[in-house]
């Protein structure tokens, strides 16, 4: 079975990102596939490379990066949501005159149509967060 995942919450705001990560891990462990993980609204904060949680806390962002590396997952952040929240790729930082980009290299910026495409390809779409 193929899954498309939408995450609407930041990594430390609510349980949504943790639960989505656990779900995606279970999908792979069960021999199924994640077509795409799309980060929307505050979920784009899952893609910043500047997060530095205390060593005794879970590193949600590092978990997503490891999962992407292990399974070659297509992980995308909504372009409009990321710009509004200051999660910037090299290109968007340059275009907006910002000195630094903070989007982790394992994520790409995409329009909402990219999420819709994932929903068409997948057998199921699962949404985490409001």
CATH for 2-128, options being 3.40.1260.10, 3.40.190.10, 3.30.420.40, 3.40.50.360: 3.40.1260.10
Phi, psi of 5 (to 5 degrees): -120, 135
- 79-122 pLDDT per residue, tens: 999 999 999 999 999 998 998 999 999 999 999 999 999 999 99
b/e string for 51-69 if b means 16 or more Cβ within 10 A?
beeeeeeeebbebbbebbe
Determine whether 78 is an active site residue: yes
Write out the H or E segment, with its range, that includes residue 91: helix 90-95
Annotated catalytic residue within 16, 78, 87, 109: 78
The region of weakest confidence among 5-9, 27-31, 38-42, 59-63 is: 59-63
pTM score, two decimals?
0.95
């Amino acid at each position: 079975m193929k899954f498309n995942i939408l995450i609407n919450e930041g990594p430390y705001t609510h349980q949504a990102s943790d639960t989505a990560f656990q779900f995606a891990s279970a999908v792979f462990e069960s021999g199924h596939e994640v077509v795409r993980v799309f980060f929307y609204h505050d979920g784009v904060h899952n893609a910043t490379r500047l997060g530095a949680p205390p060593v005794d806390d879970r590193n949600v962002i590092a978990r997503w990066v490891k999962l992407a590396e292990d399974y070659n997952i297509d992980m995308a952040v909504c372009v409009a949501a990321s710009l509004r929240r200051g999660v910037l790729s090299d290109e968007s930082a340059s275009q907006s005159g910002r000195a630094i980009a903070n989007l982790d290299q394992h994520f790409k910026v995409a329009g909402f149509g990219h999420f819709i495409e994932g929903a068409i390809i997948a057998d199921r779409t699962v949404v985490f967060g409001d």
